Amino acid sequence: MKQQRRVVITGIGTINPLGNNVNDYFQNLENGVSGAGPITRFDATNFKSRIACEVKNYDWTEYFDRKEVRKYDLFAQYALVAAEQAVKDCAIDLATANRERIGVVWSSGVGGMQTFHDEVMGWAEGNGIPRFSPFFVPKMIPDLAAGHISIKYGFMGPNYSVVSACASSNNAMIDAFNLICWGKADMIVTGGSEAPIIIPSIGGFSSMQALSTRNDDPQHASRPFDLERDGFVIAEGAGALVFEEYEHAKARGAKIYCEVAGGGMSADAYHITAPHPEGKGAVISMRNALEDADLTIEDVDYLNAHGTSTPIGDLAEITAVQALFGDHAYKMNISSTKSMTGHLLGATAAVEALACVFAITHGVIPPTINVENLDPAIDKKLNLTLGKAQKREVNVAMSNTFGFGGHNSTIVFRKL
């Protein structure tokens, strides 16, 4: 039997509410900065939730010309910006690279919803006259972010999009990992992007009572594990990572951040939006990830929790963590970086994977901010990294993401 190929990370990039590049993002993670504020994209006066974690100081003219940008919904723009950073960071020589062996596996939970909204509203306001843009469908469908990245760089390897709600970019990264392990590609640009701060998203999530309504104090609204948490704060942006086969990376002298050790997936098979109250699917996902990585529970130093700041979701995840890890749950660090970034939906796992890279490469656990009164249902002896970052050597980091529909995905990273 052929030995499984190893996978490492050789390039990273991001644009998100804490920074429009990796360095700014890492600095704000360590400093416990909140990316939340009032919604500026539209007049949210009449909405229950009027806050979000928006990307700051984004000017599309810095990245695209006017003719080109007509083809891109904002979620695709974010994808291209983050991917450009990651491709540049990995320092691949595109002139000599075998681009048939380089792929793109990308994700988005909702894709071009702004485009869909604008086109339908234009039709309605035009008295039903069907004047739709020829870019309507290509801008809307989630797979076009992967397509645009491959077209830009001429990457002709596996190319597709993964959609599994808020688990999407973990699933995309796990697919990228497996494709390289199986010998289907040598490098894959992977991650996710989302641009959901728009009228239909805010209205829809608000009607589900999923969003925080702490409108008078947005920077403290995302408060995972706090007794007074009242929902997540929606966010936007993208995270990109270049996954590469280990020997291929070594042969070209690439900078290596860490190894992608394994991934696990499962389904709750329980409810369309609520997690299993005992966290059964989450346990299976984490256990499968550790088995795939050939690691034990005692090997995990840091868990980046899904930790959305929803009343039932946080408890279900903590229940799952304690059920799987037992006594070791008290020896590892746990944190929810969504307390700072907000919830990027389909892009959240990619941005949180970068937080794991940060923990491994810098020896710093990013904090869970805004916990003023820990929910008494959560064991206070757990190290939830409350308030400020903690120094710690991190050899193994795990990241959870769970999505509507009962989708669970967990990815594990390891220091080389």
pLDDT digits (tens, 9 = 90+) for 98-157: 999 999 999 999 999 999 999 999 998 887 788 899 999 999 999 999 999 999 999 999
Q: Hey, what are 373's tokens?
A: 């009164």
Known catalytic residues are 166, 306, 343
Per-residue confidence (pLDDT) for residue 1, from 0 to 100: 34
Tokens for 244? 């590469």
Is residue 258 scored above 80 in pLDDT? Answer: yes
- Domain covering 263-414, topology: Peroxisomal Thiolase; Chain A, domain 1 (3.40.47)
Per-residue DSSP letter, 293:
T
- Specify the pTM: 0.97
Cα distances from 260 to residues 20, 111, 289, 355, in angstroms, run 24, 26, 11, 14
The C-alpha atoms of residue 236 and residue 242 are separated, in whole angstroms, by 21
Q: Residue 395 has which token pair?
A: 């050899």
pLDDT surpassing 50 at residue 295: yes
Report how far residue 319's alpha carbon sits from residue 379's, in angstroms, rounded to the nearest whole number.
Answer: 10
Is residue 2 scored above 50 in pLDDT?
no
CA distance 176 to 190: 7
What the block records as the tokens of 237 is 């942006």
Residue 116's nearest CA partner among 202, 204, 199, 236 is 199
Q: How far is CA 213 from the centre of its chain?
A: 23
Residues 259, 181, 409, 173: is their CA dihedral positive or negative?
Answer: positive
Nearest Cα neighbor of 87 from 45, 150, 132 is: 150
* Cβ(370)–Cβ(339) below 8 Å: yes
What does the block give as tokens for 206?
């608000």
pLDDT digits (tens, 9 = 90+) for 30-70: 999 999 999 999 999 999 999 999 999 999 999 999 999 99
* CATH 3.30.200.20 fits domain 7-251: no
Residue 56 CB partners (closer than 8 Å, separation 6+):
17, 20, 35
Query: What integer pLDDT is reported at residue 126 of this predicted model?
Result: 82
Whether residue 225 contacts residue 318, with contact meaning beta carbons closer than 8 Å, is answered with yes
> Tokens 């942006």 appear where?
237
Task: Write down the domain spans for the chain.
Answer: 7-251, 263-414
Same-fold call for 7-251 versus 263-414: yes
